[in-house]
Amino acid sequence: MNERPLALLPELLLLVGAVTTLLTGAFLPRGRQWVARLIAVGALLVAVLAALPAVGERSTVYAHSYALDPATTAARLLIPLAGLLVVGIAAGRVAGNRRETEFYVLTLLAVLGAVLLAGASDLLLLAVSYLLSSVPLTGLAGWGRDRRGAEAALKVYLMSALAGVGLLAGAALLTALGGGASDYDRLAAGLAGAPSAAVAVGVVGVLAGLLFKIGAVPGHFWVPDAVQGASIPAGALLTTVPKLGGLLAAYRLFAVAVPADVVDWPLLVAVLAAVTMTLGNFAAFGQADPRRLLAYSTVAQVGYLLMAVAVAGRAERALPALLVYLAGYAVTNLGAFAVLAAEPHDRLDGYRGLARRRPWLAAALTICLLGLVGTPPTAVFAGKLTVFTAAWDGGLAWLVVVAAVNTVASLFYYLRWLVPALSLPSGPPPLGTGSPRGPRVAVAVAAAVALIGAAGTFPLYGLVERTLQR
Amino acid sequence: MLSLIVFTPLAVAALLLLWRGLPASTVSWIWIAVTGVEVAAVLGVWWAYPGEGFAHEVDRPWIPGAGAGYHVGVDGLSLPLLALTTVVFAACAVYSLRRQRRPRQFAALFLALQTTCLGLFVALDLILFFVFFDLSIVGMYAVIAGWGHGPQARRSALTFFLYTFLGSLALLLGFIGLSVAAQPHTFDMVALTRDPPTQGTAGALVLSTVLLGLAIKTPTFPFHTWLPPAHTDAPAAGSAVLAGILLKMGTYGFVRIAMPMLPDAWRRYAWAIVVVGVVSVLYGALVALAQTNFKRMVAYTSVNHMGYVVLAVGAAGLVADSDAQARAVAITGAVTQMVSHGLITSALFLLAGVLYDRGGTYRMDAYGGLAADTPRFAALTAVAAFASLGLPGFSGFIAEFQIFAGSLSAAPVAVAFALPGILVTAGLFLWALHRVFLGPARHRLSATADLTAAETAAVLPLLALALLLGVFPRLLLDVVEPAARAVTDLVAR
């Protein structure tokens, strides 16, 4: 049955890290919670290092329920690194807070849940990891314990419960239709002869859960409210980590488990992608709060990312494209949130004259926002280019046109933020207000990676094979 | 060698940005020195150019997942534009001596912009081309938004950004279409030229998106509406680069990408391109005639001049009605026109900047009789205007003569319609000269308002080069003609 506990070392390390952080934090005085932070950072780093030896691995473990392949490897590397950036962003806001440790524990658990989501090759494990990654998100949304945080937490919780019911029901239905097998390999064989209407219902159910997780239409309603209500670092995590896990899970589900000749899921996903990007972009137009603007921008980005899922298994470069885009998106989005954390304002106008006050922060903001547009040579450009190419290759040229038009539209609202930030009011430069070290480091790292991304994706391709392990 | 030429300005730009307390005059001299070295380096490349095919090729993998590589090289089409780029940027550097606010950032921005322009002309990979194409838009947006004058500068910059960004994404769609049709998928221009991938309807669709992108950048009628406000509000050096170099990116794309990679569709729709060219020629000339604003007038003559280029490349696609010799002449004329327009219009925009600097307005009625008070300015402007209207002896004449001679057999009606464009342009320039320089003085400028040494040193070489190419055209044509013949053969496949 392939029972190799050591194959799951990165996941185990994350779990051990979470437990250790929790226990350590419980015994630490309030002024020395930085020890817990250190442990959390150490756990994330060690998890990344532990994933490196398994880079070339292609197998499944525990009765085909967990796949060790390029997608899982990428998730094991990307998601903890994203978690590290979140901890960096959080350093200023949560340091010294009474519940500082809780934040790190929840972050570690959210990271673990997302990694499991990406690696799950079995509907039951998918359901479990869905729950494991949803609960910490709710906690993080309400971490601030203020009125808005409570609202955000409630919204995330209700939506996740609703979508979770869909996912569980869909998983049960698909398992039944597949002849009792829940692992993707045998499920695919079982579903091949099943009635397509019933399979479609099951797929829609499972997809509902995943769409909530990645914040795509119609499961996107929680995103803007949660990002606005939760603290900024929590918002950064909510819009990055679950998307990484959820999109890889969706890709794996469609590429391995659901045959396209039984249900026309490519069309369904393509339409969802088109609607998601359009809605995200147009909803972002009117936002005056940078947090809501970023939230809707993440919805739009998921639309582009779903294009790669829509051609899963049909375009040979769909998987590398998805991974490159995910990596670029994660770092660029976190960079934008890091700028927000380094200089929080409730309104876009608050950033007027940023270039004069804090030129480096303005430069980072420029890189990240233009990066989100997809201007070369940033990382998201490499992702967009590869995803567009893959989608066209997979026969979805119309979707590529929709995405290109959306990209032009998106430029408009990113510029609404960027133009005041770069405009230079006359008069002497006001003194820059100091910000904590953590966000500044996160800003610098994220912006630098986002900028050199297109050139930097080169080594990534060595890691990525084009197919998934069944 | 080419990579060094392309990325040296960017490296210096980064240095200038990081080096805070650098005195303004040092910044200017560093900028002038770098652009001067670039001119010399490109002249060296020109000298060593073997006369045919690609030189200094470098091909490295870059984004292998997408099939994009770092592939650069120069040939007879790109070498003249490369040289033009270095010359225009050097003129801008000299012109900006002791002029701009925030000189350090301005110089850094222009040096970065120079990298994008140079990179675009040496790129032999569609994605590399697109990267530089897109970055040039971002750079020019920053120039207009940051250093533009007039209350509308921000708005014009935004219009420019959104409009040309739309064009660049259309271009990207076309590139993806080209790449996906090729087996194996590649963005390499040389490979796509060797073996044009698309046929039939797919080819027509890809050509239409590529043409949309290039037409917005060129700009041709009816996609020119971003151009006049962008020019009016841009600083003089920005206008010179915008008109002199950035517009050439569109027309260069026609001969480098659209014609060789989509020959089938190009031949089929050549008549439409000819029509667009003729309309641009006439519309640009007539609207320019109606302008009272000197800079807007020059901007519209750019639409007119680019119209000739579009007419020529369109006529070169009408294979059935003409011989290869004539079509090669038309393409040679188109490339010559790009160089010639780059030199002359950059000079005109720099002179327009002087006018605004001294008088505070571009309105031609606000001046009059300037010839008596500012003789050097009047003389250089008159020379530039005569060069721009195509007076024999200047490069513009060589270019337009070849365009008309090459297109005549293929599209006689179109040429007949386009010829009056020259007449209108001549009229509007003479009328403008008349209003600004002759008659009673309506301004309060004294003799001290005449050109400074730096301004003269910036404008004079541009006009001298236009004159040199007008008198000794072989200097340019020897390089362009083999490449133009190659393009002609590629289209006729």
Q: What's the confidence (pLDDT) of residue B94?
A: 92
Provide, as residue numbers in chain A, all residues whose Cβ is less than 8 Å from the Cβ of B136.
none
Cβ contact B169–A455 (<8 Å): no
How distant is the Cα of A158 from the closest Cα of chain B, in angstroms? 40
Are residues B66 and A458, on separate chains, in Cβ contact within 8 Å?
A: no
Is A404 close to B170, i.e. CB distance below 8 A?
Answer: yes
Q: Which tokens hold the place of A252?
A: 């794996």
Q: B334-371, pLDDT tens digit by residue?
A: 999 999 999 999 999 999 998 888 888 888 888 888 88
With CA atoms as reference, the chain B residue closest to A360 would be B18
Q: How close does chain A come to B392, measured CA to CA in Å?
A: 43
Residues of chain A with Cβ-Cβ distance to B61 below 8 Å are 458
Question: How near does any CA of chain B get to the CA of A390, in Å?
Answer: 8
Asked if residues B326 and B410 have their Cβ atoms less than 8 Å apart, the reply is yes
Q: Do B63 and A397 touch (CB under 8 A)?
A: no
User: Searching chain A, which residue's CA lies closest to the CA of residue B137?
Assistant: A375
Chain A contact for B373 (CB, 8 A cutoff): no
Does B50 touch chain A if contact means CB atoms closer than 8 Å?
Answer: no
Residues of B in contact with A419 (CB under 8 A): 145, 154, 158
What residues of A are in contact with residue B177 (Cβ under 8 Å)?
Answer: 392, 397
Nearest one of B312, B283, B313 to B300, comparing CA atoms:
B283
ipTM of the complex as predicted: 0.85
Cα B114–B115–B117 angle (5° rounding)? 65
Of A376, A415, A423, the CB nearest to B135: A376
Alpha helices in B290-411 (DSSP H): 294-315, 324-359, 370-373, 375-388, 395-408
B135 to chain A: closest CA residue: A376
> Which of A408, A461, A466 has the most B C-beta neighbours within 10 Å, making it the best mutation to test the interface with B?
A408
Provide the shortest C-alpha distance from residue B201 to chain A (in Å): 14
In this prediction, residue B202 carries a pLDDT of 83
Span B376-383, mean pLDDT?
91
Half-sphere exposure of A375 (CA within 13 A, CB side): 24
Work out the average pLDDT over B270-280: 92
Which regions in chain A score pLDDT beneath 50?
Answer: 427-429, 432
At B71, which helix (H) or strand (E)?
Answer: strand B68-74
Among A298-307, B66-75, B131-140, B441-450, the least confident range: B441-450
- In this predicted structure, what is the pLDDT of residue A19? 94
Rounded Cα–Cα distance for residues A428 and A411 (Å): 31
Contact A392 B177 (CB under 8 A): yes
**Shortest Cα–Cα distance, A440 to chain B (Å):** 18
Q: Do B180 and A392 touch (CB under 8 A)?
A: yes
What pLDDT is recorded for position A459? Answer: 57
Least CA distance to B141: which residue of chain A? A419
- Pick left, alpha or beta for residue B150 (phi over 0 → left; psi -120 to 50 → alpha; otherwise beta): left
Segment B87-95 shows an average pLDDT of: 93
Eight-class DSSP state of A434: P
Nearest-by-Cβ selection for A393 from B62, B64, B180? B180
In a 3-state reduction of DSSP, which class is residue B134?
Answer: helix
How high is the pLDDT of residue B96?
87
User: Is B131's Cβ below 8 Å from some Cβ in A?
Assistant: yes
What residue ranges in B103-177 does DSSP mark as E strands? Answer: none
How many C-beta atoms surround the C-beta of residue B355 within 10 A? 25
- In A, minimum Cα distance to B178 occurs at A389
Spatial neighbors of B429 by CB under 8 A, at least 6 apart, are B301, B385, B386, B388, B389
A59 membership: H or E segment, kind and range: strand A59-61
Q: Is B22 on the interface with A (CB under 8 A)?
A: no
Return the CA Rg of chain B: 21
Q: Does B468 touch chain A (CB under 8 A)?
A: no
Task: Please answer yes or no on whether A455 and B62 come within 8 Å at the CB atom.
Answer: yes
**Residues of A numbered 430-469 whose beta carbons fall under 8 angstroms of chain B's beta carbons: which are they?**
454-455, 457-458, 460-461, 464
Contact A458 B63 (CB under 8 A): yes
Residues 147-186, chain B: which have Cβ within 8 Å of A?
Answer: 154, 158, 161-162, 165-166, 169-170, 172-173, 176-177, 179-180, 185
A228 touching B, CB under 8 A? no
Q: Which residue has the tokens 């405009």?
A: A423
Region B182-200: what's the mean pLDDT?
A: 85
Quick: pLDDT tens for B14-37: 998 888 888 888 888 999 999 999
Q: Tokens at residue A226, please?
A: 């949660």
- Other residues' Cβ atoms within 10 Å of the Cβ of residue B200: 10
A426-440 exposure pattern, b = at least 16 Cβ within 10 A, e = fewer: eeeeeeeeebeebbb
Selected for mutation to probe chain A from B115, B156, B172 (highest A CB count within 10 Å) is B172
